[in-house]
Structure 1
Amino acid sequence: MDFKLTRLAPTPSGFLHLGNLYSFLVTKALAEKSGAKVLLRIDDLDRDRYRPEYVQDIFDTLDFMEIGYDQGPKSLLDFEQEWSQMHRIGEYSQALDTIKEKKLLFACDCSRKKIQQMNPSGYYLGHCQTRNIPLERNDTCWRMDTFACEFIQVNTYTEGKKAYVLPEESAFFMVRKKDKLPAYQLTSIIDDIYYGVDLIVRGQDLLGSTLAQHFLANELGLHSFQGGTFHHHPLLKGEKNKKLSKSEGATSIQFLRKEGKKVADIYGILGKMLGSSEDVKDFESFKKHLDL
């Protein structure tokens, strides 16, 4: 299969770790195999956690690991002046207005603590759906009404078209946060359409996000997004088989570099985490362990 554009889409909410790097390398491998160009798209609307040093870390990591890309910002200054999501607020607001006009959402004032108290799993199950909270009330987010959601069809890279059910953790997802900024599920769709992305590579943990975005794209009539192809790769696990996170500083590329690790050393660590009995020292030997 041939594609036009895929993307690296990190969030500057912490220093990049080995799991982020693994996803970048899978994306790079798929881009090479399919002839797709690569876009660097940095998702920076989580303004509470945004830090310029995290953006710089993205450039530093890509440069250190020799991961090139064809489109996107080349520096922190270039990003903030030309590529930040803050420059696309108008596009996001237009989509929010469309959802609002179609009466597809409801306001919610639940805190994370309250959601946890109502459901130990931490999943939001639609508590405010029938409370009729005014949409313009302060300290409320906007959520999609997914109650009537049926099977969602997704074009997958390895298995063709597959039908899924929206999981509990993705039901009634946010489209606008309490700070009145658009939420990830909406901005990700708008950005992928804006740039013309037709191959989206994500970790298996983000399958629920893909399904939420397909539901939202359908409600917005954005069928070009649904026409894209999606690949959800297995997650790279750390100690005790736990998912890697940005809060674990020891797995950050920055930490490993400060320890004196070279590119070959980091590929070697990835190889061991993938269970390889062979020596993994560069991108070519890394690709042999990918089932693509």
Structure 2
Amino acid sequence: MLTGDALDLVRDFDCNASDESDFEKLNHFLKNKALEYNNDSFSRTNIYSRDGICVAYYSLSMNAIKGKKIDVEDEYRTLKSYPALFLTRFAIDKRYQRSGIGKAIINDIIYNAYRNREVAARFLFVDANPRSVSWYLGNPLFTIMYIDLTERMETCIESQIIKELNNRMIKGHGIDYVQKNDEQSNTLKLEWEKILIRHVNEIFNEIADDCCLIKECHAKVKLFIEDNKPKIELNNFNIKDNHKLIREWLGNRDNLLKLDITIPLYLDINKYYKAVFTDSPKRF
């Protein structure tokens, strides 16, 4: 575990091989916040060192996965939540990336969690950065939480659509619409809803052009009004026929989900332990 005596080891740690701000945040946390979080019990950060320098670190905290979002034995499906470890941060120094150390550390986390007799945690939960998700999905035991992923995508897409709608209103942009002669004046509200829907579909199609996964899943967007506010629902995305496609797409390192969200993943600690370790398990 990271202690004050080990701060010199992390001084030169740098996981930012692609000059991304999210990875720079991981560097900053390790050097400036991790010890404070350890002392205040908000997370536990462990470091791995070689030749006097930190080559990797991870942070864990307790969590619970709520609702019917995961695969679990039938006798436990009535539980309202499931105990989980939350892998809040995980980073490898750029000089040691793709060396196999990441897989070894995941194995170590699972080994310790499974054999812990003080606190039970059945699952490992990860909020994966879109640039890192392909690495996790390279392990077939990591599973996407499709319900959460869909909800996050809906929220992000809704935010983008509303922002663009506001921009169009400011610019006075409109879509031509010819009202039929036989329609009555009391249908004006309905006509404006039709115009709004056309705007929304236009903007959604632009988002889909930039985020190929949406298009490949043939997802559609539905607009509805809730408490006098427009809300967006993503349809035809989280369906069983798309799950394999979504996993394969996110598992391809060349694909990047161009939405400002993280990808929720989980892993069954019991199944992982039994798949990886024998009666005399080897620790990495």
The TM-score with structure 1 as length reference comes to 0.25
- Larger radius of gyration, structure 1 or 2? 2
Which structure shows the bigger proportion of residues in strand conformation?
A: 2
The TM-score with structure 2 as length reference comes to 0.25
